[in-house]
Amino acid sequence: MRYHRMYLTNINCTAIGFLDHSLNQDCEGPWENGYAERLIRILRAEEVYLNNHEDITEARVRIGHFITQVCHQKRPHSALGHLTPMEFQKQNLD
């Protein structure tokens, strides 16, 4: 059974540190939260839709791994000068 739609609907952006536009009455739509919308799109395309999660626990573990291991350590971000967040942090905070 696929739980990704229910899981992503429930967490939206709040569980990963972003404000969900549907919960913020000051925001008028998804364009108000572009970084979070982009992350959710990448998450769905590269992790959720490619895997068949057996239950919500597995979905949480796999999505958490994707964010911490892939998005933060392996995937370059154009907003960071095409560095991964870890490379950017080492370069600018050390």
pLDDT band for position 14 (50/70/90)? Answer: very low
pLDDT in tens, 16-72: 444 444 445 555 666 677 778 888 899 999 999 999 889 999 999 999 999 999 988
Asked if 1 contacts 7 with a C-beta cutoff of 8 angstroms, the reply is no
Comparing 3 with 89, the larger pLDDT belongs to 89
Measured between alpha carbons, how far is 38 from 69 in angstroms, rounded to an integer? 17
- With contact defined as beta carbons under 8 Å apart, do 2 and 59 qualify? no
Nearest residue to 54 via CA among 9, 4, 15: 4
CA-based radius of gyration for the chain: 14
**DSSP SS3 for 30:** helix
Q: What is the DSSP letter of 44?
A: I
Query: What is the pTM (predicted TM-score) of this model?
Result: 0.59
Selection from 69, 67, 73 nearest residue 85 by Cα: 73
**Alpha-carbon span 56 to 44, nearest angstrom:** 15
Q: Regarding predicted confidence, which is higher, 19 or 80?
A: 80
